[in-house]
Structure 1
C-alpha cells in the first residue's frame, strides 16, 4: 500500500527524467518512491539514499560499481536494477517497480504458514539468490521485507548491491541490515559470501513455519549475540508433527559454521525441491498451532482431495462458506487440501468440492433386484455341483518328491533374489551429485555407484555448455542399480533471434522487444536528414543475432533533420548575402521588388525573411534588396522664419542645420543650402539665419 504523506520530493522531477508521484516506504538507508520514467514512459521504483550516505563520495563510487554489477543480473526472481545516478544532493537507484506486497505482509497477516506454502514461497527466493551467487553477487540483507510478491504472483528478491556497497565503503558498520537475519560472520565483521545469504534464508524459513523469529531481545545487540553464540532451535518444537526433513533443512541453513551450510543458493535449491517432492500431502499441509488459532476465527472448511495436488491455501484467500449441515468429515488418513484463493499463483477455481461426502450406493430397482437374486441362485447351484474332495488321492511318495523339488526351487529363487536385490543390479544405491561436472566425470561417478547412464541435452541459463546440469532422478535419490539414470547436459542458454527494429517508431520497437521477451537498452538520439523524428535508425546487437531472453538491445533513434541557424545578412551586398546563406546550407531567393532605405545603400540587403531562428537543410531565405534612399525636392524657405522652415524640412525627412549670423536676432532665413533641387531623403539642409 502506498503511503500518502507530505514529502519534498513528491511532485518533483529527479535528474530531468524521473517524475516522483508518491512515497512508498522509508527504511534505514533510503526512501522508496513510485516514479514515472518520462523517457521510457513506465513506472519505476526510485530509491533515494539518505543524506548521510549521499554525501559520502567513497560510498557513491562503490554504489555505482555495485549497481552496474546488479544490473547485469537478469533473472525472473530478481528485481532488475535499471539506473543509478546523482542529481545535486539526491543520490538514487532506479529499480523495477513491483506492484503488490512483501513477504513480511504475508507473515504479519497469516502468522505461521503450512509447510507447503512456506516451501513454495521460499523456492523462487532461493532460485533468485542462486542465480546471483553464480554471477558473483552477494545480497547480505535477505529478509522478508526484501522479498516482493507481485499482484500476478511473481516473487522477486530486491535490493541487490545496496547492502554490499554500504558495508564495504561506509562507517554504517558491519551490522547493516536487519539484525534478526544477520549471519554470525557478518555480526563479527568477517568476510561474507553466499553462505551468509543462506543463513538469512534459514532464519526466514524458520519464521515462516513457526510465525516467530528464533532469537529475541530487548536491544539489537542481544539478538546479534545469540546469532554468534546460540543455536537455532528445531521448528518442530513449536509446530508438533512437522516433518524431520524440514527441521534438518532449517538446521543445515542456520549452522553457526559457514562450512556446514549449503555452498550457495543453487545447492540449497536442489535439496529444497527434493524435500518438497518427497514429503507426503499430510506433512505438507500440516497446519501449525498459530494457523489453527487463526482458523478458529476465520474458519476454512475441510474438503476432499482436489485435482491439483499442490494446491495450498492462499494467504489472501477469502473464507468459503461453512459446510452444509449433516456433512461428514473425511475418514482417518484421507488426504485433505485447502481450496486455493483466486490470488494465489497457480490456483485453479473449482479445484475442490465444498465438503467431504462419503459415497453412498444408489438403491436398486425391482428389476435389478430380481436379476441379482437369479445370479445368486445360479452361483449356489454351481457351488453344489463342484466336488470338494478328489476321487483319486494320488501317490504319497510322489507328492513328497514334488514338495522337495518345489522347496529347492524356492530356495534357489530366494538366494538369487537375495543376491540380485542385496548385492546385484537390484540393490539400492544413492544417485551421486553430478551437477557442473563434465559428461565423462559424471558417467564415471555413476558407474562407480553401479548405475547405467544416458545423456539428454537441455538448455540452461547458468551451467556452461557441455557440463552436466543435473540428473534424473535427482542427486541424493535412492533407487535400484538396474534403473537408468539420465544425465541432463547443458546446451547453454536457449537463444532467440533478435527482431528487426530499424525503420520502426520507438513505441513499435518497444512493443517488438516486449513480445520477443528482450530488454530495452540504451537509447541514443541523432539528427537524420531523411528519417522522421522518433524512427529507429540502428540497433545493437543487430536483428537476427542469437540472444537469450532479457538481452538489452541498444537503439539509435532519429531526432529528425538537424536545425540550421538562419544567418543575418541585412546591410551586406547582394552577392555577399547570397553566398553567406548558401554556405549555411540554405537557399537564398531575391525578392522581385526593391525598397528605398535611407540607411541601406543601393544594392545591399534591406531586409530578410526569416530574419532569425532555424531552418532545416535546404530551407529558403527571401532577401529584399535596397534601392537606396528616395530623392526628395527641397523647397526654398529663404525669407521665412527659421522655426517654420525647420519644421517643414524635418517633416519632409531632412536633417536641419542652422547657422546664426549676428546671433540670429530676427530669426529670418537669409540663405539655404541646398535649395530648389532633389536630394536623397535624410540629407542635411543648412539654413543661414539673421
Structure 2
C-alpha cells in the first residue's frame, strides 16, 4: 500500500497570514486549499495558481484585475472574493469557504431532478448571474461544478472572472470553456457576453431535468462542433411528460443565435420565476427516473424537499482543467472540466467506414433499438422511402447498445488477422528474429535515453547570487536547456541570478526546460502626493502604491484642516522599495490663543481686546450690579484670563450696572453699637468718630444722613 504524497503547502503559512490545513481540490489552473485566516480567525478557501501561470506577469495583472472586479460583487448567491496577493512566488486568491458540496455531486447521487428542485436551484444560480451581469461581469464557465450547495441551505456560484483571466493569457486561436456547456459563439467567434452565460445555464437546466448532457462525443472538438451545428433537444424528448413550458425555457436559453436568447441573467430570472409560479404541483413534482437501459424515464413520484440539497461540500469549486484537444481523454468520453480547444481551421474529421449499425442485420449485434429517436435522414442513394425495405433513417444508439458496440469493436481489434504458426518455419524464425532485434534496439535506446541521453535525471544546480552568464554556464554544463526571465528581488542585486524554476536541487529530465530567474533589483514604487488629504485617505493611497504609513506627528496649522496631512517625507514622486514607510505630519487645526483679562474695562475696549487676541466677544443681555466696578465696565467674563481657547472661540462679557443703592436709616440718638451693626448688615463700611471721648455711646450725627447710598460705601457715625 502506497502512502499518499503530502502536498508541500499543507501545514504552511502563506503570506504570514493564511495557515493551510488541507488540500480540497486540484484543477487545470490552480489548487484549492482549506486555510485559516489567522488575522481574522476564520476559515477560507485558498486558491493557489500553478507556477507556470504565477510566472506570467501579464496573466497576473489580468488575474489581479479580475479578482478586484469579482471582489466588488457582493451577493448572497455568489462566492465572495476576500483577498488576493503574491507571496513567496505564490499567486493566490482568498475566497469565502462554503462547506457543503457541488451541484455535480447532487446530480450524480440523485440523477434527474424534479422541476420543482431544478427550478429552485436555477433561481439562485440565475439570481447570482443577474447580479454579476448588472455589475458588468461575465462568468464564462457556468457548470454544475461551479455551483456550491452549502450545508446550511445556501446556494452560491463560484469562480467569477477566472476563465477570462486564463483565456486572455492564451493565443487568439485558443478557446477556453467547458465544452459540455459551451455557447456556439465561443467556438465560432471566441467572444463571450451575458448571453453566453445564459446558454450555459440552459444546458445545465437540461441536464438537471434529464440526467444527461445534450451533446457527448469521443473528443472535446466533437462536442464543441455539436453546439455549433446542432440545436439542443427539448428535455421532454428524453423525459416525456415534462411540462411544455420547461421545453420552451430550455429552447429559449440555448438558441444558437445569441440574439434569440434572454439578453442577460436579469431577463432570464423574470421568466424563470414566472414559469415556477404558473406550473401545477403535479408538473413541478414530475421526475424522470432511470429506465432499464440506463437512460431517464418518466416518473410521477413526488420529489424530495429542497432542503435535501444541503449536504457536505468541501471547497470553492470543482477544479478547472486545461486540456489540449489533441490529447486522448482519460476515460475516453467527455469531461466536465474546463478545456482549451485549439481551433485550426475547423478541420474535417475522417470517420471509419463500416456497415450501417442501424440496419436490421446488425440489430442483434448491438445495433439501434427500435425505440430510439430518429437522428437524421440522409436522403442519399437507396432511400426510396420504402420503410419495409429497411432503408429508413438511421436511429440513435442507446447507452446499452453503445457499450455493446464498443465491446464488439474491441474484440474485433484484438482478433489476430494471421497465425504465426502457419506458413514456413524459416519465415517464422526470421520474423521472430526481427522482432527480438527491434525489441533489443528499443531497450538499448531506452537505456541510453533515460541513462545518459536527454531523458537522464540531473539535479538542478544552485545558481543563486552569481552572474547570469555563470549561471547559464552551470546549467549548460549540467545538460539542461533553459530560458531567462527577469524578476524583481529585494535581496539579490540586479544582474545576478535569483534561482531557477524548478528550484535547486530538484531532479529533472534533461529535456525538461528550466527557467533561469535573473534579478532586476528591488522593485521601486512612486510616492504619491498625500498633502491636504485626511490621514485615512493618505494611508489608503500609500497602501495602493505598495508603500506604508511611517511615523505620524501632529502640528497646529492655520491653513490645513484638523486631521489632514500638512507635509510628508519623502516628498512626492520619490522612488521607494516595496512597503517602505512614508512619514506624515498631520494638522491639529489652528493653534489655541490665550484669553486676555478684560474685567474693569469699558465694553468697547473689552471687545477690541478679545478680537485682537483672535477671539469673538459676546455681551450678555443681563447686566449686574457691582460695588467695585463702575457702570458700563465689564464686571465678569466666562473664560478665565490666561486660559487657552481655539482661535475664533466666543467669550461672553457681563457689563456692570454700578453699585446697588441701599437705604440708610437715621441713627441719631441711637446707640452706636446697634447702628454700626445694622449698617454693616446692609453692606456698608462703618467709621466711628468719638466726640468728647464718646462716653455716652450715642450717635450725635452721621454722614451721609438718612436716605440712600451706594452699597459698600462708607457711613461715618459721630458718637458722644
Please, what TM-score do these two structures have when normalized by structure 1?
Answer: 0.43
Please, what TM-score do these two structures have when normalized by structure 2?
Answer: 0.41
Bigger relative contact order (CA 8 A; separation at least 6) = 2
